[in-house]
Structure 1
Amino acid sequence: MRLSSRATHPLGWALLALLLFLLPFALLREQSYVTIDDNLDAELSIPYLLTRHQLALDYRAGAVVLPIMNGLPRNALRPGLSITVLLFGLFEPLPAYLVQQALLRVLALLGMYALLRRHVLPAPRARAVAAGLSLAWAVLPFYSMYGLTVLGQPWLLYAFLNLRRGPGRWPDWLLIAAFPFWSMFVFVGPFVVVGIGTLLLSDVVRGRRWSWPVVGGLGLLVGLYLVVEYPLVYSLLVARQFVPHRLEFDLSRLSPQGVGAGLQSAAQYFFMGQYHASRFFHGVALLAGLWAFRRPAGPGQVPRSAIGSVLAVLVGLALFCGFYPQLVGQVQDLVPALRTFNLSRFHFLTPLLWFVLLAWGLQALPYGKVSMALVVMQIGVGLAMNAEWLNNLRELARRPKPTEPNYQAYVAPALFAQVRHAIQQQSGQRPAQYRVACLGLPPAVAQLNGFYTLDSYQNHYPLAYKQAFRPIIAGELAKTPDLQTYFDAWGNRCYLFSAELGKNFRVGAFPERVVQDFDFNAVAFRQLGGRYVLSAARLAQPGRSGLALRHDFSARNAYWHLYLYEVQP
């Protein structure tokens, strides 16, 4: 895409605004707030451990990651042929995370701008609108550990639409080839193939010729995903290294049942989206889309039938995702694969569809104050719903939320160094020679600090390990049906549970939490290799749990107050 200096002017302003958006991360550095749930408590430790233990490209059947779950099969984790893993190999976890986020957001802005200017808003007077809309896309809340999975989709659509127009150029093929190396196949790969395939078939139905370049592009995308995702393919389909714990998934037990619950969930998907795939209010896009739909299409504008089709797809996907747990509950016994593969992940495509709808709506408006007002509104929506960015503004203002610690406070390296030193002084052992489990804090925090944990938060691990771990926490699970269902019907969080703490996996130092009765199976813990329990809550009667308090630890600016318990012989 060739751009004159005049054409790049709005894009330059958008890039400058994006740099200002990223400035808080650069200023705060280790004091930056990093999204915790399903991110800092799970995702950051994986590429860190793969690279530090030289296992990123070790796909042997017997390769294991010893710090996780007493030796989690390496092929249960993300592939090594990944830009994300490369960045974590070059930098420490936090710099790698911040560098990746900055790169992804810049690429997101450029990709959306390329898509809009080539295929949606090509008119010269639409440059400012396209640049503003690209900025709105780039500031959306998203999980940067998933790479280009969501915010990189405009590049992929741009390349496929170019192929749809003709044979395409080498950059189009390069974009398609690069996408699998910086995205998550299980979240977006199959669904992109279905989406592009549906577009291809709709062209044929409407009388357009079959596009072989698009077919070739899909083949290239799938082929390279198979190469990148070799660990997953090999472990599940070739070697069948282990039976995954996901075979015990039962989404129908985890979700409310009934038509009302399904409609409420569908409304959430339609108006807000799903948080892993970028949650933001879709009202601006819906307003613009409905405006465009009610007006006759002018020259060069998208026909009403196309706008109606996209709206129908968004409604259909919202209903499908909203009722999915109930639907899959009816057939999962007949088709066990539905337990392990989540078909509702079509919602990863909906953020881009909403922005396409918004762009079509802006196309139907005169390019001026009204269209720019809608763009500014969408930018405001993205910023207002970007909790990571907002929490960093609070950090800069020295008014952080007490329940949302920054990276340094949450990972607390000085505090965990005290624990390692105390254990080494007492036992003469280094972390690789003993195993710990965590209560009231995510095991990923201990893993980032060099500990080897029996517990972990994993999307894919052996069912046999889940069954071996369960006796340790069986007493606590028996106290509350909610936790029992949470573990038995899902179990990604293979944690030490306490009925008194519930699903509070972030027990801060203040106020102090005391667990009065911890029904812990010390014998099963020892049999699995466990020796220490790192607890963020004090146990009132550790002896009844087969544990003895060895020490407690605190550190300035650390979010946690840790209690070290050792299992009694």
Structure 2
Amino acid sequence: MNLKEIQEKHTKNKKHCPRCIKFHKGKTQRQCFSTLFKLSKEAGGIFADKKISKNLLFALGMAIVLLEFLPFILLGKNAVIPIHDQLDGEIFTYILHAKHFLEKDFPEFMNGMPSSALMMASPASVVFYLFFEPFYAFLANYFFVLSVAFAGMFLCVQEIWEKSWISFLAAVLFSQLPFYSVYGLSVMGQPLLVWVCVRIYCQKNTIWNYFLLFLFGIFSSLVLVGYADCLFLVLFTYSLYICRHPAKKYALYAALFLIVLYACQNRSLFFSRFVSHRKEKEVLPLSFKNAFTEMLLEGQYHAASLHKMILIFAVVVFLVCLLFYYELNKQQKKYLWGGQRYL
């Protein structure tokens, strides 16, 4: 059965697809792209997915992730670990918080300073330092962040695209980016947050969503990325209210949940009278133009993506794909949903 026959079969089909029933509440939508997609997969057409086990690819990806620990296994404490912003900074924060767990002061830090003077970038990561010595705690946290990075991207792409091999490639490539594990899920947990939003959009409103938000919140930093993520959730909620999407209230609950979690977790930032020594440091920011150009070409220092070499190629591929999609949409626009609101 070719694509034209599939389209004709779909046109004659007067039944609603499950997605139309859910989003359009039974309104007539005979020529729905999702049903065309389903029929094409059944006929082995252009949208057909190869029957590759999702679980097998996920396990293979985790095995690739584990290969990153081979140097640590072979070299042990002689393994090379970047010093900057890790061994010379954040590690000591976790060590002190673990040593003086739930205490208000650090007596050995600058002749005694309040614990709020050293805020942890990933508060829940201190758990590893409570049970292991610093080197093994660092590795445990590194493995946790790397695993969540792979799993989050895999599940997010799988939810959107439903092709296991694309999910596998995206997750493996993302997990291989250089990152600072001492910052927890602030960078590498972003796909996990997007996956939660996709689940909410698809009306998969379960307690699992709030568990993932809780996990992301306690392993990330409000001042590094949390404020931007909260703003993103607020805008996401607002867009659903504008579209009158059935899941709008669940998006609101998710946004409020993360905001309240960050507020409780960082209450010392709002109520403490401690003045940081960094207040005396003069910071000269770049102009907007220079900052934007540097971020576009080089990326952020703590979230390096090494994309400069492939940026031009990526732009060309994007434009070609956009043109292809436009032509495909032009030929088959009567089979697409269109810009209808969710009523």
Q: Normalization by structure 2: what TM-score?
A: 0.73
Cα distance in structure 1, aligned partners of 2:316 and 2:106: 50
Q: Which amino acid counterpart does residue 73 of structure 1 have in structure 2?
A: P
Aligned to 1:24: 71
Query: Which stretch shows the higher mean deviation, 107-116 or 286-295?
Result: 286-295
Cα distance in structure 1, aligned partners of 2:280 and 2:322: 45
Deviation at 1:271, TM superposition (A): 2.3
The answer on 1:226 being equivalent to 2:226 is no
Conservation of the 8 A alpha-carbon contact between 1:87 and 1:100: yes
Q: Which amino acid counterpart does residue 166 of structure 1 have in structure 2?
A: Q
Go from structure 1 to structure 2 and tell me whether the alpha carbon gap of 1:32 and 1:290 turns closer, same or farther (over 3 Å shift). farther
Aligned to 1:245: 277
The answer on 1:267 being equivalent to 2:283 is no
Deviation at 1:162, TM superposition (A): 1.2
> Larger helix proportion, structure 1 or 2?
2
The answer on 1:11 being equivalent to 2:11 is no
Go from structure 1 to structure 2 and tell me whether the alpha carbon gap of 1:109 and 1:80 turns closer, same or farther (over 3 Å shift). closer
Aligned to 2:5: none
CA-based RMSD: 2.6
Alignment: residue pair count: 276
Cα distance in structure 1, aligned partners of 2:170 and 2:204: 29
Aligned to 1:339: none
Cα distance in structure 2, aligned partners of 1:279 and 1:182: 21
Aligned to 2:222: 185
Cα distance in structure 2, aligned partners of 1:71 and 1:44: 19
**What's the secondary structure of 1:69's corresponding residue?**
coil
Aligned to 1:441: none
Aligned to 1:161: 198
Cα distance in structure 1, aligned partners of 2:306 and 2:236: 26
**What's the secondary structure of 2:178's corresponding residue?**
coil
Go from structure 1 to structure 2 and tell me whether the alpha carbon gap of 1:173 and 1:91 turns closer, same or farther (over 3 Å shift). same
Q: Which amino acid counterpart does residue 280 of structure 1 have in structure 2?
A: L
Go from structure 1 to structure 2 and tell me whether the alpha carbon gap of 1:46 and 1:81 turns closer, same or farther (over 3 Å shift). closer
Structure 2 residue runs of 5 or longer lacking an equivalent are 1-50, 334-343
Aligned partner (choices 212, 236, 239) of residue 175 of structure 1 = 212
Q: Which amino acid counterpart does residue 150 of structure 1 have in structure 2?
A: V
Cα distance in structure 2, aligned partners of 1:7 and 1:165: 20
Deviation at 1:117, TM superposition (A): 0.5
Deviation at 1:20, TM superposition (A): 1.5
Q: Which amino acid counterpart does residue 306 of structure 2 have in structure 1?
A: F
Query: Which stretch shows the higher mean deviation, 23-32 or 106-115?
Result: 23-32
The answer on 1:295 being equivalent to 2:324 is yes
Aligned to 2:90: 43
- 1:367-409: CA deviation from partner (whole Å, max 9, x where unpaired): xxxxxxxxxxxxxxxxxxxxxxxxxxxxxxxxxxxxxxxxxxx
Go from structure 1 to structure 2 and tell me whether the alpha carbon gap of 1:290 and 1:196 turns closer, same or farther (over 3 Å shift). farther
Structure 1 residue runs of 5 or longer lacking an equivalent are 304-569
Q: Which amino acid counterpart does residue 185 of structure 1 have in structure 2?
A: L
**What's the secondary structure of 2:302's corresponding residue?**
helix
Deviation at 1:216, TM superposition (A): 0.4
Conservation of the 8 A alpha-carbon contact between 2:142 and 2:181: yes
Alignment of 1:58-137 (within 5 A): 58=103, 63-78=104-119, 82-119=123-160, 121-122=161-162, 126-137=163-174
Deviation at 1:205, TM superposition (A): 4.3
Go from structure 1 to structure 2 and tell me whether the alpha carbon gap of 1:110 and 1:167 turns closer, same or farther (over 3 Å shift). closer
> Larger strand proportion, structure 1 or 2?
1
Cα distance in structure 2, aligned partners of 1:80 and 1:249: 20
Aligned to 2:10: none
Q: Which amino acid counterpart does residue 215 of structure 1 have in structure 2?
A: L
Task: Tell me the percent identity.
Answer: 24
Cα distance in structure 1, aligned partners of 2:121 and 2:146: 22
Go from structure 1 to structure 2 and tell me whether the alpha carbon gap of 1:100 and 1:272 turns closer, same or farther (over 3 Å shift). same
Conservation of the 8 A alpha-carbon contact between 1:57 and 1:81: no
Query: Which stretch shows the higher mean deviation, 262-271 or 74-83?
Result: 74-83
Cα distance in structure 1, aligned partners of 2:193 and 2:69: 24
Cα distance in structure 2, aligned partners of 1:9 and 1:172: 24
- 1:535-555: CA deviation from partner (whole Å, max 9, x where unpaired): xxxxxxxxxxxxxxxxxxxxx
Deviation at 1:79, TM superposition (A): 5.3
- 1:246-300: CA deviation from partner (whole Å, max 9, x where unpaired): 4445433xx566xxxx53432220122111133421526545433333333547x
The answer on 1:138 being equivalent to 2:175 is yes
Deviation at 1:199, TM superposition (A): 2.7
**What's the secondary structure of 1:118's corresponding residue?**
helix
Conservation of the 8 A alpha-carbon contact between 2:298 and 2:307: yes
Conservation of the 8 A alpha-carbon contact between 1:108 and 1:152: yes
- 1:52-91: CA deviation from partner (whole Å, max 9, x where unpaired): 2x2x212xxxx32122222121122225993311101111
Q: Which amino acid counterpart does residue 323 of structure 2 have in structure 1?
A: R
Go from structure 1 to structure 2 and tell me whether the alpha carbon gap of 1:94 and 1:285 turns closer, same or farther (over 3 Å shift). farther
Cα distance in structure 1, aligned partners of 2:297 and 2:318: 13
Aligned to 1:413: none
**What's the secondary structure of 1:68's corresponding residue?**
coil
Cα distance in structure 2, aligned partners of 1:50 and 1:8: 38
Q: Which has the larger radius of gyration?
A: 1
Conservation of the 8 A alpha-carbon contact between 1:142 and 1:275: no
Conservation of the 8 A alpha-carbon contact between 2:121 and 2:184: no
